[in-house]
Amino acid sequence: MACDENLLKTTICDDATILENIRSRKKPVWTIPYAGNGFVQKSSTSAVEVITSNKLGNWNSSSTVISLYFYSRSPGRVLAALRLYVPRGTSKATVSMVHNTLNNPQSRHITFEGSEYHFVNCGYFDISMPGYTRFDLQGMGKTGGFYGDVSHLILLSDTDSLVDPACLKFVSDPNDFYFGRRGPSVHLWYSLPAAEETEYFYNEVTVPKGQDVIGAYFCAIGFSGGYFGIQVNSEKERRILFSIWSAYKTDNPQQIPQDYKVNCIKNGKDVYIGEFGNEGSGAQSYLRYMWQPDKTYRFIVRAKPIDPTKTMYSAWFKEGTSEDGWMLIASFEKPKVSTFFKGPYSFSENFKPETGYMERHCIFSNQWARSVADKWTECTSAKFTADAAANKQIRMDVCGGVGIDGDRTNFFLRNCGFLSDRVEPGTNFTRECSGTGPLVEVSLLP
């Protein structure tokens, strides 16, 4: 939904230019909610500004920059307005618009007052080129306690290149606000050798400096039944996470019957064992471990049937290039399923909506599968996919491929940050062979 008609009809407006544009509707009008598209991007540590489920609130500090993003298929010219109210007094602010890859914003100063929601004219702006455009808002001065509460940015087309309402893309449905701000997840689905069953899968992960954003989860080895990777949980905490889904379908782990519960058989030193929910349910393990950017980490997952009704899943992790040093994270017994390793993939996702405006990328290298006959085979092809936020095109900032660092033996994933060089989900990639197999003797793994 590009335009909230009820919002336009019920909001006070005494600006003749805006009223004429809204009433004539000769060209599209877009109502972009801050609740789904806004971020408190720059602020002091004591800032209280917040994006709520329906607005920008607690706008108090002149050092805070609030950014809203939208995607445009075409360049063009728009008239911009803010829907806001001021609890008390008069406020002044700077508004600016710029393509998210550029540093030459068009800026205006606006003054506003009024204790009911109304439209404030921000002037005309150029959308310089296709891709993501950023609209910034920063307070200059106020006579009341807060600058105001802001619910929407209104854009009115002023050019023939923006005549299709679908020209602009953003998060409009309140049901999508959480995942829209969190940002899209992206995946690489690897192809396994078809000749024999796979028992072990190996992958290497490198997160470049500056890409280790709080809220990032870089999954080294996802598979049919679970996932294994590294997280940035806070400035002081990082984790290695290994989880196995129960075969029982529920988002509440307390509802899993005893004969469907995933059981930990063995775990490594200092590894936490628990449960997870809200995305299916199952058993979870993690090790608090301050992994570092620009270092390559190595991961192995094993899946092997125990009997016709159970599977054992085990995960190991290490840094460095020596053959030893592997750490067991956990071994889980999963009932109701008997299988070898299936469906390998890697992914990058953000689990913290407040950092959904920050790009992150990760390098995945040297994927190998080991068969039940003890043969290692290099896996060099992958299919790029993305989640519902990208497929519904409420977030367009998804990218993946080969050789982001110039090394075409590596795959990569990029997401969030409102990047504009989108790669279409469903694209297939093939990396060059490294020829360097895993340095591991699997029989000696702890």
pTM of this structure: 0.94
The strand pair at 263-267 and 238-245 is best described as unpaired
Residue 413 clears pLDDT 90, i.e. is over it = yes
Average pLDDT, integer, range 328-343: 98
Whole-number pLDDT of residue 9: 82
Average pLDDT, integer, range 210-231: 98
**Extents of the domains making up the chain:** 5-168, 186-444
Tell the CATH topology of 186-444. Answer: Jelly Rolls (2.60.120)
Indicate the pLDDT class of residue 135, thresholds 50, 70 and 90. very high
Q: Return d(Cα 76, Cα 410) in angstroms, integer.
A: 38
Evaluate whether 34 touches 56 at the Cβ level (below 8 Å). Answer: yes
Whole-number pLDDT of residue 26: 79
Average pLDDT, integer, range 399-417: 97
Q: Return d(Cα 189, Cα 422) in angstroms, integer.
A: 18
Indicate the pLDDT class of residue 24, thresholds 50, 70 and 90. confident
Report pLDDT digits (tens) over 87-99: 999 999 999 999 9
Q: Which CATH number fits domain 5-168: 2.60.40.650, 3.20.20.70, 2.60.120.260, 3.40.228.10?
A: 2.60.120.260
Average pLDDT, integer, range 270-293: 96
Average pLDDT, integer, range 171-183: 97
The strand pair at 410-415 and 360-371 is best described as antiparallel
Residues in the chain: 446
DSSP string across 232-258: E-SSS-EEEEEEEE-SS--S-GGGS-G
**Collapsing DSSP states into helix, strand and coil, what is residue 76?**
strand
CB neighbour class for 358 (10 Å; exposed up to 12, middle 13-18, buried from 19):
buried
Whole-number pLDDT of residue 264: 98
Q: Does the fold of domain 186-444 match that of domain 5-168?
A: yes
Of 321 and 298, the one with more pLDDT: 298
Whole-number pLDDT of residue 302: 99
Question: What's the first-to-final CA gap in the chain, in angstroms?
Answer: 54
Phi and psi (nearest 5°) for 411?
-90, 165
Mean pLDDT taken over the chain: 95
Distances (CA, A) of 199 to 267, 298, 436: 20, 17, 19
Report pLDDT digits (tens) over 236-269: 999 999 999 999 999 999 999 999 999 999 999 9
Helix (H) or strand (E) holding 395: none
Report pLDDT digits (tens) over 97-122: 999 999 999 999 999 999 999 999 99
